[in-house]
Amino acid sequence: MGSNKNKKRRRTAERPTTHPRNKYSNNPPDFAELASLYPTFKPFVFFGRDGRPRIDWTDFNATRELTRVLLLHDHCLNWWIPDGQLCPTVPNRSNYIHWIEDLLSSDIIAKTTKIGDKVRGFDIGTGANCIYPLLGASLLGWSFVGSDMTDVALEWAEKNVRDNPHISELIEIRKVESGENTLPAEGSNNEALVSTKTEIYLTEDMGREGNSLNTGYYGPPILLGVVRDGEEFDFCMCNPPFFETMEEAGLNPKTSCGGTPAEMICPGGEKAFVTCIIEDSVTLRHTFRWYTSMLGRKSNLKLLTSKLWEVGATVVKTTEFVQGQTCRWGLAWSFLPSVKKILSSHVTEKSNLSFMLQGLERKLGAIHVLQSVEDYFRNAGALCKLNTSSFTVDITAKDDKSDANLKSESQNYDGVASCDDVQEASGSSCLNLLSNNLSFRVSVFQQTPGTLLVKGSLQQRDGQISGSFSPIFRRLEEVLKQKFHREK
Ligand SMILES: C[S@@+](CC[C@H](N)C(=O)[O-])C[C@H]1O[C@@H](n2cnc3c(N)ncnc32)[C@H](O)[C@@H]1O
C-alpha cells in the first residue's frame, strides 16, 4: 500500500511540466496584476476563499480575454478570435514551440541550414487564432507558412497577422484548396470539407507498386499539394483535429476553450490526420528537416511511432506536454540521416539470427510475413527477391548514388539518438543501415498455426558491412511484431 503511494508520489514528482524556457514555467500568470492593468480583464477575475485570484475556466469569454491579455502583456501581440473559435492557452502552446526549438538545436540529425539562416516553419491548420506562427515569430523570429481551409480561420488568421506589423512579414497564411470531389463532412458544419478520395496510393516513389495504404483520412490535402515546388522548411507542426465526432470531443466541462466542428473533428480523428501527414512526409522527405505533430491520445503515439519505422523514418522522437490537468503528446520524425552513432564494426557479427512470431491470426501465414519483409526492405531502397516456393526473400542493398549519404552511415549504428526529452522513442530505421553489397536472406517457417519462425542469414562476411546486419534484423523483428500483433 505504502509503496504504491510512494510510487504514485514519485511518478507525480517526475511528471514533466512546463518547458524550462517557457515564460510561465516559474511565473504563472498573475490574474490580480493583469486585472489591475487591463480593465477588460478585470470583470472576469474573482477571489476564492483562500484569497487567491481566479477566473471561471468554463466561461469562454474569460478564457479568451485571458489569452488576449497574456499575448499582449507578455508577447506584445494584438490578438482576437470570434465567438466559439478554438481559444488557445498561451503557456500550453508555448511548450510545443520550445520543444521544436530543442529539436532544431539538437544534433540528432544532420544540419542542412547554415549559421544565420532564418528558421522556417509550416503550421498545419493554423486556425483563426494563428497561435503558433504568432508565438514562433515573436519569441524566436521564425518565419512561417500557416495553412488552413475554412474561411473563418483564414480571415481571422490574416487579421491577427496584419494586426502585428512588427512580425507580419514573417507569416504567410495559405489557403488549402479542398480539391475536386469535395463533399460536406457528415455531422459537421459546411466548413468542414471532405473529399471523396478514399485511399492514398504509394507506388513508384516508394517501390511499393499496387500496395495502397488506406490512411482513413478523407479530407483536403495536408502537406502534399499545399507545399509548393522548391520550398524547404526546417519543421512542420500541427495541432490536429483530435476527434471523429463532436460527441467524442465532449468539450471538457471543466474548461471552455470553444472549438467549432471544423477545428475539432475530421473523419478518422487525429490518427487518420497524422497518418496522412506521415504518408505525405514519405513523399516530401527532406523538404522538411523535422515533421512534428501534437497528439491528444497516448495510444495513437505508439501506433504512429510503429508506422514511422515501417515507412523508413530515420529518427522518431516523442515527448509529453503537461499543463495543469491537460496532457498532450508530441511526435517528431525525420528522414535525414541521424548523426549520433557508435562504431559497431568491432562487434562480432552473428551470421544467423532468428525470432518467433506468435499469436498470428489463423488466416495469416508465412506468405503474408514474407510480403511484409519484402515491402519493408524495398521501401528502404534494397533489391528484394521473393521466392514463394522456398518461402524466402533475398535482400541486397542497391548501389544508388543518391542514397550515398545514407549508406555511408552503415558502418555506424546509433540505436538510440538521445535528447533531453521526457519520453523518447528513437532509433534508426534500416534505411540508413543498408550498405552497398550487404546481402542476406530472410526465411519464414510455419511452426504451428499462428506461430512462425523468422530466420535471417548473412550471405557474405565482410567485417565492416556485416556490422549492420544485426541492428537491421532487430529492427525487422520490431516492425513485424508490431504489425502482426496489431492485426490480431
Ligand atoms: C485543432 S485546430 C488547431 C488550431 C490552432 N493551430 C491551435 O493550435 O489552436 C485544427 C485546425 O486545422 C484545420 N484543418 C483541418 N484540416 C486541415 C487541412 N487539411 N489543412 C489545413 N488545415 C486543416 C481546421 O480548420 C482547424 O483550424
Q: Which residue has the higher pLDDT, 233 or 416?
A: 233
**How many angstroms separate the CA atoms of 193 and 218, rounded?**
9
- Counting from 1 in the atom list of ligand 1, the atom nearest the Cα of 219 is 19
Q: What is the per-residue pLDDT for 272?
A: 94
Question: Do residues 188 and 244 share a domain?
Answer: yes
State mean pLDDT over 122-151: 97
Find out whether 381 is annotated in a ligand binding site: no
Mean pLDDT score across all residues of the chain = 79
pLDDT surpassing 70 at residue 170: yes
* Helix residue ranges per DSSP H, 50-122: 60-75, 90-105
* d(CA 268, ligand 1 centre) in Å: 15
- Ligand 1 atom nearest 128 alpha carbon: 27
- Whether 270 has a pLDDT exceeding 50, the answer reads yes
**Local structure of 122: helix, strand or coil:** strand
In a domain, 345, yes or no: no
Residue 148, marked binder? yes
Residues 298, 231 share a domain: yes
Residue whose Cα lies nearest atom 2 of ligand 1: it is 263
Residue 239 labelled as part of a binding site: yes
Q: Which residues of 129-143 are buried (b: 16+ CB within 10 A; e: fewer)?
A: bbbbbbbbbbbeebb
For residue 238, give the ligand 1 atom closest to its CA.
6
> Which SS3 state, helix, strand or coil, does residue 441 take?
strand
* Interior/surface letters 39-76, b for 16+ CB within 10 angstroms, e for the rest: eebeebbeeeeeeeeebebeebebbbbbbbbbbbbbbe
Among residues 75, 102, 131, the one where a domain terminates is 75
Whether 423 and 391 map to the same domain: the answer is yes
Nearest alpha carbon, ligand 1 atom 17: 125
* 384 domain-assigned: yes
Q: In the prediction, which pLDDT does 159 show?
A: 98
What pLDDT is recorded for position 242? 81
- pLDDT tens-digit readout, 287-330: 999 999 999 888 899 899 999 999 999 999 999 988 776 788 99
Cα(66) to ligand 1 centroid in Å equals 22
Average pLDDT value for residue range 381-389: 88
* Residue 377 pLDDT greater than 70, yes or no: yes
User: What is the best residue among 148, 244, 266, 326 to mutate for testing ligand 1's pocket, by most ligand atoms within 8 Å of CB?
Assistant: 148
327 and 357 share one domain: no
**30 or 408, greater pLDDT:** 30
Side-by-side strand order, sheet with 382-387: 352-357, 451-458, 439-448, 392-397, 382-387
CATH code for position 366: 3.30.310.220
3 state SS for 270-302:
HHHHHHHHHHHHHHHHHHEEEEEEEECCHHHHH
Look-up of cell digits 557474405? 460
Q: How confident is the model at residue 181 (pLDDT cuts 50, 70, 90)?
A: very low
Express as a percent the part of the chain with pLDDT over 70: 73
Question: What local confidence, expressed as pLDDT, does residue 304 receive?
Answer: 95
Query: Running DSSP on this structure, what letter comes out for residue 381?
Result: T
CA nearest to 278, candidates 240, 231, 234, 325: 240
| Choice from 85, 149, 155, 160 to test ligand 1 binding pocket (greatest atom count within 8 A of CB) | 149
What is the pLDDT, as a whole number, of residue 179?
62
Report the pLDDT averaged over residues 52-70.
96
Residue nearest to atom 8 of ligand 1 (CA): 239
Residue 13, in any domain of the structure: no
**Whose CA is closest to 335, among 411, 410, 405?**
405
Angstrom distance (rounded) from CA 383 to CA 193: 41
Tell me, yes or no, whether 287 and 380 share the same domain: no
Ligand 1 interacting residues, C-beta cut-off 6 A: 86, 88, 124-127, 129, 131-132, 147-150, 153, 176, 219-220, 222, 239, 241, 262-263, 266
Q: In angstroms, rounded to a whole number, what is the distance separating the alpha carbons of residues 64 and 68?
A: 6
- H/E stretch holding 200: strand 200-201
- Per-residue pLDDT, 360: 83
Q: From the CA of 149, how far away is ligand 1's center (Å)?
A: 8
pLDDT for residue 452: 82
Statement: residue 251 has pLDDT above 70: no
pLDDT digits (tens, 9 = 90+) for 420-469: 232 333 334 455 556 667 888 998 887 777 778 888 888 875 655 556 78
Which atom of ligand 1 lies nearest, measured to the CA of 222? 19
Judge whether 208 lies within some domain. yes
Compute, in angstroms, the gap from residue 240 CA to the centroid of ligand 1: 6
Q: How confident is the model at residue 286 (pLDDT cuts 50, 70, 90)?
A: very high
Which of left, alpha, beta for 163 (phi over 0: left; psi -120 to 50: alpha)? alpha
pLDDT band at 211 (very low <50, low <70, confident <90, very high): very low
Residues 349 and 362: their CA atoms lie apart, in Å, by 35
Instruction: Specify the higher pLDDT residue, 237 or 218.
Output: 237
- The pLDDT confidence band at residue 275, using thresholds 50, 70 and 90, is very high
pLDDT of residue 183: 38
408 CA from centroid of ligand 1 (Å): 39
Q: Whole-model pTM?
A: 0.67
Same domain, 303 and 448: no
Verify that 247 and 363 share a domain, yes or no.
no
**Domain membership of residue 50 as a residue range:** 32-75
Show which of 309, 334, 359 is a domain's final residue.
334
CATH code, domain carrying 262? 3.40.50.150
Ligand 1: atom nearest CA of 88 is: 9
pLDDT grade for 416, boundaries at 50, 70 and 90:
very low
Quote the CA–CA distance of 317 and 304 in Å, as a whole number.
Answer: 11
Residue 19 lies in a domain: no
Number of domains within the chain: 3
Q: CB-based contacts of 271: which residues, under 8 Å, 6+ apart?
A: 216, 297, 300, 303, 304
Atom of ligand 1 nearest to the CA of 123: 6
Higher pLDDT, 301 or 339: 301
Between 1 and 313, whose confidence is greater? 313
- Residue 401's pLDDT is 39
Q: Which residue has the higher pLDDT, 361 or 80?
A: 80
pLDDT (0 to 100) of residue 338: 83
3-state SS class at 378: helix
pLDDT of residue 474: 83
Residue 10 lies in a domain: no
Residue 16 in domain = no
Ligand 1 center–CA 239 separation, angstroms = 7
Q: Could you tell me if residue 456 is inside a domain? A: yes
- Lowest-confidence pick of 16-30, 92-106, 344-358: 344-358
Look at 66-75, 207-216, 366-375, 381-390 and tell me which has the smallest mean pLDDT: 207-216
> Is residue 213 over pLDDT 70?
no
| Residue 107 in marked binding region | no
